[in-house]
Amino acid sequence: MSDIQQELETLCTELKEYYSLRREVIVKHEELTNKEGARVLELHDLLALKIGAFKNLISDATGIPQTGQEDVWMHAMSYLQVPLVVGSLDQLIQATSLALGKVKKEIELGERDAETGERLSKSGVTKSEPPKAFIIHGGETDARDKLRRFLLALGVQPLIVEEEPKEGRSVDQQVEHYSKIADCAILLGTADDKELKDGKLYPRRNDFIEIGRFLERFPMRIIYLQEEGASFPSIIAEKLRTPFSHDNMDEAFIVMARELKAFGLLKAVKP
């Protein structure tokens, strides 16, 4: 079996497992065990990354929407407890199965590369790496976790340096390495885990270093999210910020998704 077929089959199997667990809660109103709940979170993050890599290929093969109000991918990866999630997951499973069949046939006909999934003709789409967003943050917070999950649902890979492979690098080398492969940066200014100075809360000193790197690397592809009660340093005092509260990040996420689209990282694909 080719590499791309194996990956699509695995994706389909994991989607079915995720569908089954979400259906228990949403449709049957059953409570999950702690182990099942942990598996749901694990599968969500895993699937979101894989969808980022395969959504163009699957949409190209099936016409399944991936933008606007009919965005099946977004609905399927939502944390909402509504039937729309289950229906979208079921639609996504069917689309993945259909895409798998078409890819298999195209490989047999010599129209698609068996390892990468790339079309051998100039037309069509290829399996692609998801865009990457470097998250500058002060520490582990609920806001950071919510941001991480939202990016994954969009098909964007969040880069949180302490969670990425270190491969013997120092902290500074780790930041430098992942800043170079990022497509954009998101500065998450939260009101906790910060330094108090002059009666205001500011990002920690190591955050300044990361901010400086990205202001030099791609100053027009940085998103500034600022929680109520937090202040930004003078180096970015004039930048437009998107405010949010601890209890409500929805509006900030809508603005952020719009910015990511403007950066060219969220692309519309016509069915």
Give the DSSP per-residue string, 93-124: HHHHHHHHHHHHHHHHTTSB-TTT--BSSSSS
Tens-digit pLDDT profile for residues 11-43: 999 999 999 999 999 998 899 999 999 999 989
In a domain, 51, yes or no: yes
Three-state DSSP at 130 gives coil
Tens-digit pLDDT profile for residues 185-234: 998 887 764 444 444 444 444 455 567 678 777 878 899 898 887 776 65
Distance CA 81, CA 72 (A): 15
In a domain, 188, yes or no: yes
Lookup result for tokens 């449709």: 27
Tens-digit pLDDT profile for residues 41-67: 989 888 877 877 787 788 888 888 765
Q: What is the pLDDT of residue 127?
A: 47
152 close to 48: Cβ distance less than 8 angstroms:
yes
In a domain, 116, yes or no: no
pLDDT reading at 269 higher than 90: no
Containing structural domain, residue 22 = 3-108
Q: What is the pLDDT of residue 256?
A: 92
**How large is the C-alpha radius of gyration of the chain?**
20
In a domain, 18, yes or no: yes
Q: Which helix (H) or strand (E) holds 186?
A: strand 184-189
Residue 54 or 254, more confident: 254
Same domain, 86 and 148: no
Same domain, 180 and 230: yes
Q: What is the pLDDT of residue 108?
A: 82
Same domain, 245 and 200: yes
| Tally of domains within the chain | 2
Lookup result for tokens 């027009």: 220
Same domain, 32 and 96: yes
Which positions ≥6 away from 260 have C-beta within 8 Å? 131, 133, 154, 156, 184, 223, 266
Same domain, 152 and 218: yes
**What token pair was written down for 88?**
């979208």
- Comparing 109-118, 189-198, 240-249, 258-267, which segment has the lowest mean pLDDT? 189-198
Q: What is the DSSP letter of 29?
A: -
